[in-house]
Amino acid sequence: MSEDEDGVRAEFIAEAQEIIELLSRDLLVLDHGQKEGHPDPDLVNSVFRGVHTLKGIAGMFGFNDLGEVAHVLEDLLDQLRLGRTDLSQNVLDVLFEGVEVLQRLLGSAPDAPRPDLDAFFRKVGGELGGAPVVEPDLGAFGIDTGVLSVLTEYEEHRLKTNIDQGVPLYRVRVKYALTSIDTDLEDLKTRAKPIAEIITYLPSMDGGDDDAIELEVLLASRATADELKIALALSDDAELEAVAKREPSATIPPPARVPTQTPASPPTKHPSAPLAPSRDAGADALSLRAVAKTVRVDIGKLDHLMNVVGELAIVKSGVGRLLDRLRGDPEQRALIAELHRIHRGFERHLDDLQDGVLDVRMVPLGQTFDRLARAVRQVARDHGKEVRLAVSGADTEVDKLIVEELTDPLLHLIRNAIDHGIEPGDIRERRGKSRTGTLALNAYQKGNHVVIEIEDDGAGMDEELIVQSAVARGAIAAEGSADLARVDKLELIFLAGVSTAEEVSDLSGRGVGMDVVKTHIARLGGVIDVHSQLEVGTKFTITLPITLAIISALVVRAAGRTYCIPLTVVQEALLLDPADVRTVEGREVITLRGATLPICRIAQLFGLTPQAHDDERRGKEYVVVTSLGQRRVGLVVSGLEGQQDIIIKPLGKSLRKVRGFAGATDLGDQRVVLVLDAPSLLEELFLGGEARAARAGASA
């Protein structure tokens, strides 16, 4: 495949992915509306248009299977929007399955198993059709025959539906300037949405001029005329009148229909109005001018830009060190001043460039939450449970690479919560709970980190059962297990093979997964905490850095060796007074502002031999206070060298499994140093003795 073909394919996949994500989001809203008893017909039409667009571009780019699935979904959605098929839960199940099939076809590898399309087509065929309905006579209403003759099939259906439901009809005449008709008409639709349904709009035969156009809008609403005037913010020259029903003697038979055109080529509205805005099946296309001001960029190109920015940051640090060396030479005062000015300008522009590239990489978590919402609905229905998903903080932004890697861990946590966290409806009622369980997804930014919370109001976890499972599987020794703190007992759920499920299901219960979740989160530079209470619920809290692309780090020394600690986990650094150190339960601690802070000596942790260095000779030690999530520890080092922007490079396959290090970085002065992995260090230091031994045994 040529480079041009690769680019075209990537462009198609990106556009198709956006359409599928929008379809999923609209279907979730439709599902909610159907359960509440008032599904939005505009959403059905929006989903129809999205599938129609996907069918068209799939055919253009040779994705035949994708096009076939979109085609049968389009047929079903066409029946739905025209009222020939009812929007039932079974139909929604088929539509959701269709989105899953589209997603699998779009993202599948060449050697991946092909979805059973024939079985899916049979499901769609089973939902097509429906009994014919008795439609109202449109000629019985005071609607101009010229208007009726040019209604699209969908518009005619919506008009008949409103008449059948007894919704009053109104005719509105508005006049808009040609230069602002797009925005004015969009504003009218937005204002009408909560209180009325716009059936159609047409240019009137008179009232327009060279600078303006008059539109006649037909809408349906149960509101009064006065309420509509206020809601639509109509101007004084706008006209609004109710469409009255004709007297029986004046009934006019409906005109012959204009041949229906395909959605791709909408019908011409009025031969005498060439300036009329063209409309698609849902009357939403207002202009040929592109309104999107975005471009799609491959994440690999952004990675390359970020690497370049990182290298420039190293150059900046080198220039800064050179400037510091020159400051000791009074004869170079003019050169120092000029170099200082250039360095400040370089630093300022580099910071702007770095912030700009980071902003481009950031995406809202809502993209991931939408996919998870679809999974919640499907898993809950598979297990016969009623689950309500509550989402907040969907606009919280995270690095694109972190978002992609986060989907699988979140999906596993959600499946666990539904499978054996949230109880069946009858059990919940006996416990005095609502029959419908609640699963909450919450995200928010906290400093340089993003916190994601997954909380359910289910049965909770019994820490004693967790301990028994860990002992039974040999994850920990029975001796001393009863002395573990409650938080340490709950943390055992993240050890391989430990599970509290009494039965093995298709989703969970084998003890495989929670350890992988924790490892996955740690690989992203984050930590996961768990809190649970029996018959109240369980809450998992994930704390992640906003980005892993380029970070600021504190450069420290320990036993004559240099390390970097990401500033995202550093709270402060202070001089350690040996007299303040005491031992509690075998751990060294100090008191910091009234709170107990455990400390860890880096040299001892890594088994380093002290070297003859100025810091060691002076006997000075510093405490770098680090925190992540709800954990806080002081790392004891022998020297502080300052702050520097770094790019973390992986250690390679041979050293990938070495715990305690996130990678290495170049400081720009021909020094390559190790970057401490703060999440794994904090986890190691906070694990109880039994759990630490178990983790060490598992690693071996």
- For residue range 333-343, what is the model confidence (pLDDT) as tens digits? 888 888 889 98
Provide mean pLDDT across the span 559-569. 88
How distant, in Å, are the alpha carbons of 70, 138, 257 from that of 250? 45, 13, 20
In a domain, 80, yes or no: yes
pLDDT at 699: 42
- Collapsing DSSP states into helix, strand and coil, what is residue 168? coil
Q: Are residues 508 and 576 in the same domain?
A: no
Query: Domain of 693: which CATH number?
Result: 2.40.50.180
Q: The CATH number of the domain where 37 resides is what?
A: 1.20.120.160
Report d(CA 172, CA 277) in Å as an integer. Answer: 17
State both tokens at 261.
């055109």
Q: Are 502 and 419 in contact (CB under 8 A)?
A: no
Do 603 and 665 lie in one domain? The reply is yes
Q: What percent of the chain has a predicted confidence (pLDDT) above 70?
A: 82
Within this chain, do residues 597 and 671 fall inside the same structural domain, yes or no?
Answer: yes
Residue 111: per-residue pLDDT: 57
Taken in order 569, 572, 575, 576, the sign of the CA dihedral is negative
CA distance 322 to 138: 85
Same domain, 411 and 533: yes
Question: Which residue would you say has higher pLDDT here, 458 or 275?
Answer: 458
Q: What is the DSSP letter of 483?
A: G
Whether 582 and 565 map to the same domain: the answer is yes
3-class DSSP state of 478: coil
Same domain, 399 and 306: no
* 177 and 320 inside one domain: no
CATH number at residue 396: 3.30.565.10
Q: What is the C-alpha radius of gyration for the chain, rounded to an integer number of angstroms?
A: 32
Q: Which pLDDT value is given to residue 208?
A: 60
**In the chain, how many domains are there?**
5
Which of 634, 620, 657 has its CA nearest to residue 572? 634
- Mean pLDDT, residues 535-549: 86
What band does 6 get if pLDDT is binned at 50, 70 and 90? low
Average confidence (pLDDT) over 94-107: 86
* Residue 128 neighbours by CB distance under 10 Å: 16
Task: Please report which helix (H) or strand (E) contains residue 449, including its range.
Answer: strand 449-456
Question: What pLDDT, on a 0 to 100 scale, did the predictor assign at position 131?
Answer: 45
Lowest mean pLDDT among 244-258, 385-399, 448-462, 617-631: 244-258
Please count the residues of the chain: 700
Residue whose structure tokens are 């820490």: 463
Res 250: pLDDT: 46
**Are 456 and 489 within one domain?**
yes
pLDDT band for position 207 (cuts 50, 70, 90): low
In angstroms, the CA 397 to CA 362 distance is 6
505, 526, 545: which is the final residue of a domain? 545
Q: Residue 550, SS3?
A: coil
Residues 389, 518 within the same domain? yes
pLDDT at position 264 is 39
Q: Cβ distance 215 to 201 under 8 Å? A: yes
Among 659, 647, 455, residue whose Cα is nearest residue 564: 647
Q: Could you tell me where the DSSP H helices lie in 233-365?
A: 299-326, 333-361
pLDDT digits (tens, 9 = 90+) for 493-534: 887 777 766 554 544 443 447 888 888 888 787 888 899 998
* CATH number of the domain to which 225 belongs: 3.30.70.260
pLDDT at 694: 44
Average pLDDT along the chain: 78
Tell me, yes or no, whether 477 lies in a domain. yes
Residue 155 lies in a domain: yes
Range of the domain at 402: 365-545
Place of tokens 């715990």: 659
In-domain check, residue 610: yes
What CA dihedral angle connects 242, 245, 246 and 248, to 10 degrees?
-170
For tokens 């703060």, what's the residue? 678
| pLDDT tens per residue, range 124-181 | 888 775 544 546 667 667 777 777 777 777 787 778 888 877 888 888 888 888 888 8
Task: Identify whether the C-beta of residue 335 lies closer than 8 Å to the C-beta of residue 311.
Answer: no
Question: What are the beta bridge partners of residue 242?
Answer: 170
Residue 580 lies in a domain: yes
pLDDT in the model for residue 615: 54
Per the domain annotation, does 328 fall within a domain? yes
Residue 279 lies in a domain: no
| pLDDT digit string, tens, across residues 662-673 | 888 888 777 888
Q: Which of 362, 385, 404 finishes a domain? A: 362
The closest of 419, 390, 665, 400 to 552, measured between CA atoms, is 665
The whole-angstrom separation of Cα 474 and Cα 477 is 7
Question: Does residue 654 surpass a pLDDT of 80?
Answer: no
The answer to whether residue 59 is domain-embedded is: yes
Same domain, 378 and 522: yes
The larger pLDDT score, comparing residue 276 to residue 545, is at 545
- Examine the domain organization and report whether 537 and 609 are in the same domain: no
**Domain boundary pick from 127, 153, 168:** 127
454/557 same-domain check: no
Burial of 472 (0-12, 13-18, 19+ CB in 10 A): exposed
CB atoms within 10 A of CB 264: 10
